[in-house]
Amino acid sequence: MSLYRSRHVAARFVPALFRSFVRIYVRPRVEGIEHIPREGALIIAANHTSHADTAVIYTVLPREVRSRFVAAAAQDYFFKGGVMQFLSRILFNAIPVARDRRGGQDPLRHAARALREGYALLLFPEGTRSTTSEIGPFRSGIGRLIAEFPGTPVIPTYVGGTNRVMPKGKIIPRPYRVTVRFGEPLYLKAHPKLRATWQTAADEVREAIVQLSGMALAHSVDTSSEQAD
């Protein structure tokens, strides 16, 4: 499985150093890791408030999943050349996703091919980072992938605290403990030719993440209370 895996020599050692830095810097609290299948194609669908989201999720994944991990990244932001594209590729095997259809190409062609090849695909269905910490509407693209790849597990994933680590508009991360909660796999259905079913499936994924976010918030409050005592 080398289709989307970075072949740069730096990809052999930089990701391991990067994961160590992330673990020390943000001390991620992880729950539900047992819900992630260790083999086969899957979609990790997460809320999105920060560019740190990808780094945190990638860091806490089991080794078997990291070995086939790809992250969908905005083509207009991460694939303009330079350092941003270089780091995205060697760290996360980033693949481009166009946020519009300009040029006439399928914006999800790389995401679809990755699933076809058996990769674990990280997707942020909001399409952009939230500036309010609330989970925004999900675009229908994830529903289209669900329709195209029936039976592929979707892992709803809530990430909390990354907006404090690296808020939108900031490039220097700050140390702050984050939470990652993985939900049970969703096996949803959508019709390849009925776009309304794509949005319905996307909304179901969003609702699962909303539920996870409420549980994570309660956990955070309980922890804070214990520390205060």
Query: Which among 125, 127, 137 has a CA at the least distance from the CA of 186?
Result: 125
Q: Evaluate whether residue 13 is within a structural domain.
A: no
Q: What's 172's domain CATH number?
A: 3.40.1130.10
- Tell me the pLDDT tens digit for each residue of 71-94: 999 887 778 778 888 888 999 999
Strand, coil or helix: 184 = coil
- In the prediction, which pLDDT does 215 show? 54
Count CB neighbours of 8 within 10 A.
10
Please report the pLDDT score of residue 87 as a whole number.
87
Domain membership of residue 96 (yes or no) is yes
What 3-state class would DSSP assign to 185?
Answer: coil
Length of the chain, in residues: 229
In a domain, 15, yes or no: no
pLDDT in tens, the chain (229 residues): 677 889 899 999 999 999 999 999 999 999 999 999 999 999 999 999 999 999 999 999 999 999 999 999 988 777 877 888 888 899 999 988 887 766 667 899 999 999 999 999 999 999 989 888 889 999 999 999 999 999 999 999 999 999 999 988 888 899 999 999 999 999 999 999 999 999 999 999 999 999 999 854 444 444 443 433 3
Reported in sequence order, the residue ranges of the chain that DSSP labels E, i.e. its strands, are: 29-31, 42-46, 69-74, 95-97, 120-123, 154-160, 179-182
Q: What is the pLDDT of residue 226?
A: 40
54 in a structural domain: yes
Range of the domain at 52: 29-224
Is position 16 within any domain? no
Residue 10 maps to a domain: no
pTM across the whole model = 0.89
Using alpha carbons, select from 25, 11, 146 the residue that is nearest to residue 66.
11
Q: Count up the domains in the chain and report the number.
A: 1
In a domain, 229, yes or no: no
DSSP 186: B
Q: What is the pLDDT of residue 214?
A: 87
Would 65 be classed as within a structural domain?
A: yes
